[in-house]
């Protein structure tokens, strides 16, 4: 009788442990914020044609004559000072794209940015990256939002908009036509918030990332 009770007690404990292990845990999403002043060293490269006019990863049309860059992990709208170590020449770029996907390379500059530090002819060079505050000239008159999703059907976008509206301000849908040069098909984008700075949009992003881990900050006027 005692053995039976002990076996029953043991079985109960094991069951409780299994149930506890299977209980869903609350996962807190990490916001990939770039700390001002953070540095990184590695090899820089640059890109232009045939990507000029195609959409970058943040949805903007890539213009190789603007001071932008691709980085593997920095959030979009992060600004970075790039110093070519051999000459100490510097340029400042905004992260709008993902890449480069070559081991050892830390940033892929637009042609304009590469020209600014005399990197065009060499093609690659050792650099130091430093995260900086966005220039005031860039922030003046701009607003920022968070893109939660981009879907091919308007009905799906409207469903997500209805789900988000009770919890968030300024939930909107924006149509994007297919780009004939490549990069994106026709889509309906779901946007949350309308802020005067990337920092304000970042606070909205923090709330959204747990359920929408691929959400990101983008300029309000980006089509």
Any idea which residue has 């069951």 for tokens?
A: 15
* Separation of alpha carbons 199 and 217, rounded Å: 10
- Given a cut of 70, is residue 68 above it in pLDDT? yes
Which residues fall within 8 angstroms of residue 74, CB to CB, at 6 or more apart? 32, 34, 80, 95, 131
**Separation CA 27–CA 106 (nearest Å):** 29
Lowest mean pLDDT among 2-11, 21-30, 112-121: 21-30
**pLDDT tens readout for residues 127-173:** 999 999 999 999 999 999 999 999 999 999 999 999 999 999 999 99
């Amino acid at each position: 009788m005692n053995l039976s009770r002990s076996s029953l007690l043991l079985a109960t404990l094991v069951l409780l442990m299994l149930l506890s292990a299977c209980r869903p845990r609350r996962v807190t999403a990490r916001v990939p914020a770039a700390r001002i002043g953070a540095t990184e060293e590695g090899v820089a490269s640059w890109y232009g044609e045939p990507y000029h006019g195609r959409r970058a990863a943040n949805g903007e049309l890539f213009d190789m004559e603007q001071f932008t860059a691709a980085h593997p992990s920095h959030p979009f709208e992060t600004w970075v000072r790039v110093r070519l170590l051999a000459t100490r020449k510097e340029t400042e770029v905004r992260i709008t794209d993902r890449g480069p996907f070559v081991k050892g390379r830390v940033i892929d500059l637009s042609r304009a940015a590469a020209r600014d530090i005399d990197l065009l002819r060499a093609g690659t060079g050792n650099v130091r990256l430093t995260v900086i505050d966005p220039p005031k000239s860039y922030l003046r008159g701009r607003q920022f939002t968070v893109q939660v999703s981009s879907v091919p059907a308007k009905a799906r976008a409207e469903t997500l908009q209805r789900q988000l509206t009770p919890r968030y301000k300024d939930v909107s849908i924006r149509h994007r036509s297919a780009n004939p040069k490549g990069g994106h098909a026709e889509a309906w984008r779901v946007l949350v918030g309308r802020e005067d700075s990337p920092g304000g949009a970042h606070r909205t992003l923090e709330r959204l990332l747990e359920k929408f881990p691929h959400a990101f900050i983008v300029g309000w006027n980006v089509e």
